[in-house]
Chain A
């Protein structure tokens, strides 16, 4: 009985095209933010400011959308703005060598506060630009993936392309080798002639730009409006996602879709619950959506446990120099 109920619910959810569309949207958003964090952390800089950077990106994107009317122009402006904003963390933690955790948290608080303050007038303003779904002709008619994957907007494809580029640059180029070396052992990289501080600053800026894109995507597509609590913890999920995906762009993509799915599914336990008279095409299982929204973190902790069991003797999958300020040992 119970199993039949759960299977029935699962069918309801999986045949819900709206759920898949939401899954992709949140997946794309989380993927962009987490990719940026992967780049920063691979260079050895933990940036806990993702939540704040996304808020700044969301606001800037929304504002620029109204000003320009173009979602692409707005997204690029948001990316640049957040890249610059991220330099607060870059200067404080990389150049001046302050604690990365404290500096990153400060960036989050600063970003949330700044966006709330500067965005007061935008709360009542209607959206000026919105990403529209991309039609891929006949591909859009394929049942299942047609109305979802092959109908997603351009930012989805941009995110996938950025994912591939990030993987390629990190693993197949000199720049990536140097960046990973900086994140594993700054002293070794320095001795090999890699400019540690510059590499880290660039990584933090790119990480900021990606978070800016994610934030802009939020207000230019997912929820085309502005209010100060719009990011609502998505930045933290992105930080957890980096660990869940073991700092690998490919695995982070899988995690982004999984976490995006959880975010998409959560509210449906409420909105599509059976209520007495309606008994078909609705959900019978009683789960508090709050429980579903905790799952990304629970899964991340589970992954951390699994990784620590696997890696007692081998080096951790986390970049070894993460969180460590570097100062050349010139005496």
Chain B
């Protein structure tokens, strides 16, 4: 007997085949990993199971019974719950209202519903406060509300789409306990991931997708190792991130950040007295769970956000009072975390985006020389191997990797001395990640000082010369990637050092 059976699923979108005969079999009472690169068709396949997409071909069976879902509500009714990466909660609703939405009694009794939600949460070890509004909750708590939503509808199959991406290591471990509790009750959990360690810890079996097809189904996780997993996912035995061999000697300081404090509108210090230096040719990594001040720090250095106190200098020139453009002209380049929106304007074309930083140097006075602009764009496209259909079309249709290469290329076009790169490889596929990492290493070799902010520990360990950890706005630890362990860094990310009181 199988809890879930997806067989020969085809799903085509205009210009893309997302699933090309993919299959998946999940046993009842198990935690099943679905692995694959970005674009391998994992999310599409899960959306077929969750009733969001109708497959062009193929069958969906639950407990051996064939299903035909025409909308998500059908899948929910059949016992399939899905927790998306972007939570689908209503911030102004309470936990209880969010959980009960769609299956509430005709007349709501606040107290009895909150009691029921509290009891359900307790049964599965999901700590939550039923009466609080969701906007007040942390990411981990919000995820628990999403899981509660599914359990409230008595989901027998729960799909978790990259659930640990927003969690601290502790919260991730807790999620592992929760999925184990659910599995022990006979429910099936499908765990989408590309992190080997958590797949090995949390899951029983794994199915690997590549190019919309299933390339390995229901492997025991004990048979998986990093090399085999990468081979299955990418199709060739490429090594996971290789530790960079430094070829340059770290030179003079190019970036000096002294005692920066950034307040949010409530007067809370979101960056709390951070000082750091980056030398010529050095890559300084900043690790931390999302939302611990990395973004306001990067924005404050780049001039997109006002620091309350502290100074920022680039090659010993104080740039603290300058706006973003002037900082840029002093050799500071910034690849922001939001590559679409902050970094690039998706409705504008490749030329406009390519010259956004230095259009003032093209042409005379108020006029832009678009001939020059076009050749500037063309040289970026060639140098960074960016695949754009036409340079005068909006960027919107480009893949993440191409967008990021355009953004990074533009920022490097004026030969900066310092590059702030925030989450530069997030959401890219393996080739895309490698291309960006190669560019970063090449730039460091050429003497650019790089501040690399990332949530990907492997990337930080592979690329950084030094590794700083941020927690609650402060730098709580510095590590040498050659000698430090993942556990030490993970503990610092979770605030272990801060709680000892040494870093405040």
- CB-based contact A313/B265 at 8 Å: yes
Given A192-B101, A313-B264, residue A320 in contact with residue B53 (CB < 8 A): no
Selected from A181, A314, A331, the residue in CB contact (under 8 A) with B90 is: A181
Complex Cα spacing A329 to B84, Å: 15
Cβ contacts A to B, 21 pairs, < 8 Å = A172-B108, A173-B106, A174-B108, A175-B106, A177-B97, A181-B101, A184-B92, A184-B93, A185-B90, A188-B88, A189-B101, A191-B72, A191-B102, A192-B73, A193-B71, A193-B103, A194-B101, A312-B265, A312-B266, A315-B92, A320-B92
- CB-based contact A188/B101 at 8 Å: yes
Q: How far is the CB of B146 from chain A (nearest CB, A)?
A: 11
Closest 9 CB pairs of A and B: A192-B102, A193-B73, A174-B104, A184-B90, A191-B72, A188-B88, A315-B91, A312-B265, A192-B101
Complex Cα spacing A92 to B204, Å: 52
- CB-based contact A188/B90 at 8 Å: yes
Complex Cα spacing A192 to B150, Å: 10
Selected from A173, A181, A190, the residue in CB contact (under 8 A) with B107 is: A173
Complex Cα spacing A95 to B290, Å: 39
- CB-based contact B101/A178 at 8 Å: yes
- CB-based contact A177/B101 at 8 Å: yes
Complex Cα spacing A331 to B89, Å: 22
Complex Cα spacing A178 to B98, Å: 10
Complex Cα spacing A171 to B96, Å: 13
| B135: Cβ under 8 A from any A Cβ | yes
Contact partners of A190 in chain B: CB under 8 A: 71-72
In chain B, positions 195-233 with a C-beta closer than 8 Å to chain A are none
How does the 8 Å CB contact mask read for B77-112 relative to A, with 1 for contact and 0 for none?
A: 100000000001111110001001111111110000
Complex Cα spacing A187 to B76, Å: 15
Which among A177, A194, A313, A329 has the greatest number of chain B C-beta atoms within 10 A? A177
In chain B, positions 26-66 with a C-beta closer than 8 Å to chain A are 52-53
Contact partners of A193 in chain B: CB under 8 A: 71-73, 76-77, 102-103
Contact partners of A175 in chain B: CB under 8 A: 106
Q: How far is the CB of B150 from chain A (nearest CB, A)?
A: 11
Contact partners of B91 in chain A: CB under 8 A: 184, 315, 320
How does the 8 Å CB contact mask read for A152-193 relative to B, with 1 for contact and 0 for none?
A: 000000000000000000011111011011001101111111
- CB-based contact A174/B73 at 8 Å: no
Contact partners of A328 in chain B: CB under 8 A: 71
Selected from A171, A177, A188, A331, the residue in CB contact (under 8 A) with B104 is: A177
Q: How far is the CB of A315 from chain B (nearest CB, A)?
A: 5
User: Interface size for chain B: under 10, 10 to 19, 20 to 34, or 35 or more residues?
Assistant: 20 to 34
How many pairs, one residue from A and one from B, have CB atoms within 8 Å of each other in the complex? 75
Residues on B facing A (Cβ under 8 Å)? 13, 52-53, 71-73, 76-77, 88-93, 97, 100-108, 135, 264-266
Q: How far is the CB of A116 from chain B (nearest CB, A)?
A: 41
Residues on A facing B (Cβ under 8 Å)? 171-175, 177-178, 180-181, 184-185, 187-194, 312-315, 320, 328-331
By beta carbon, the residue of chain B nearest A187 is B88
Given A188-B89, A191-B72, residue A177 in contact with residue B265 (CB < 8 A): no
Complex Cα spacing A171 to B101, Å: 13
- CB-based contact B92/A177 at 8 Å: no
Q: How far is the CB of A196 from chain B (nearest CB, A)?
A: 11
Contact partners of B105 in chain A: CB under 8 A: 174
Complex Cα spacing A185 to B134, Å: 14
Complex Cα spacing A313 to B131, Å: 19
Given A191-B88, A193-B76, A313-B265, residue A173 in contact with residue B108 (CB < 8 A): yes
Q: How far is the CB of A218 from chain B (nearest CB, A)?
A: 34
Q: How far is the CB of A246 from chain B (nearest CB, A)?
A: 12
Contact partners of B100 in chain A: CB under 8 A: 177
Given A172-B107, A188-B101, A313-B264, residue A331 in contact with residue B53 (CB < 8 A): yes
Contact partners of A177 in chain B: CB under 8 A: 97, 100-101, 104, 108
Complex Cα spacing A312 to B266, Å: 9
Complex Cα spacing A173 to B105, Å: 8
Selected from B53, B77, B135, the residue in CB contact (under 8 A) with A314 is: B135
- CB-based contact A174/B106 at 8 Å: yes
By beta carbon, the residue of chain A nearest B74 is A193
By beta carbon, the residue of chain A nearest B90 is A184
By beta carbon, the residue of chain B nearest A191 is B72
Contact partners of A315 in chain B: CB under 8 A: 91-92, 135
- CB-based contact A313/B90 at 8 Å: no
Q: How far is the CB of B155 from chain A (nearest CB, A)?
A: 13
Contact partners of B93 in chain A: CB under 8 A: 180-181, 184
Contact partners of B265 in chain A: CB under 8 A: 312-313
Q: How far is the CB of B316 from chain A (nearest CB, A)?
A: 37
Q: How far is the CB of A176 from chain B (nearest CB, A)?
A: 8
Complex Cα spacing A189 to B98, Å: 10
By beta carbon, the residue of chain A nearest B265 is A312
Complex Cα spacing A180 to B91, Å: 12
By beta carbon, the residue of chain A nearest B105 is A174
Contact partners of B135 in chain A: CB under 8 A: 314-315
Complex Cα spacing A251 to B106, Å: 25
By beta carbon, the residue of chain A nearest B53 is A331
Q: How far is the CB of B427 from chain A (nearest CB, A)?
A: 19
Q: How far is the CB of A247 from chain B (nearest CB, A)?
A: 11
Complex Cα spacing A41 to B435, Å: 48
Contact partners of A171 in chain B: CB under 8 A: 108
Q: How far is the CB of B356 from chain A (nearest CB, A)?
A: 29
Complex Cα spacing A174 to B101, Å: 8
Beyond the given A185-B88, A331-B53, please list 14 additional residue pairs across the A-B interface where CB-CB is below 8 A: A172-B107, A174-B108, A175-B106, A178-B101, A181-B90, A188-B90, A191-B88, A192-B102, A193-B72, A193-B73, A312-B266, A313-B264, A313-B265, A329-B52
- CB-based contact A174/B88 at 8 Å: no
Complex Cα spacing A184 to B89, Å: 10
By beta carbon, the residue of chain A nearest B102 is A192
Contact partners of A330 in chain B: CB under 8 A: 52-53
Contact partners of A331 in chain B: CB under 8 A: 13, 53
Contact partners of B102 in chain A: CB under 8 A: 178, 189, 191-194
Q: How far is the CB of B132 from chain A (nearest CB, A)?
A: 12
By beta carbon, the residue of chain A nearest B13 is A331
Which among A193, A329, A330 has the greatest number of chain B C-beta atoms within 10 A? A193
By beta carbon, the residue of chain B nearest A312 is B265
Contact partners of B77 in chain A: CB under 8 A: 193
Complex Cα spacing A314 to B135, Å: 7
Given A172-B107, A177-B108, A184-B92, residue A313 in contact with residue B101 (CB < 8 A): no
Complex Cα spacing A194 to B106, Å: 14
Contact partners of B52 in chain A: CB under 8 A: 329-330
Q: How far is the CB of B304 from chain A (nearest CB, A)?
A: 18
Complex Cα spacing A95 to B264, Å: 41
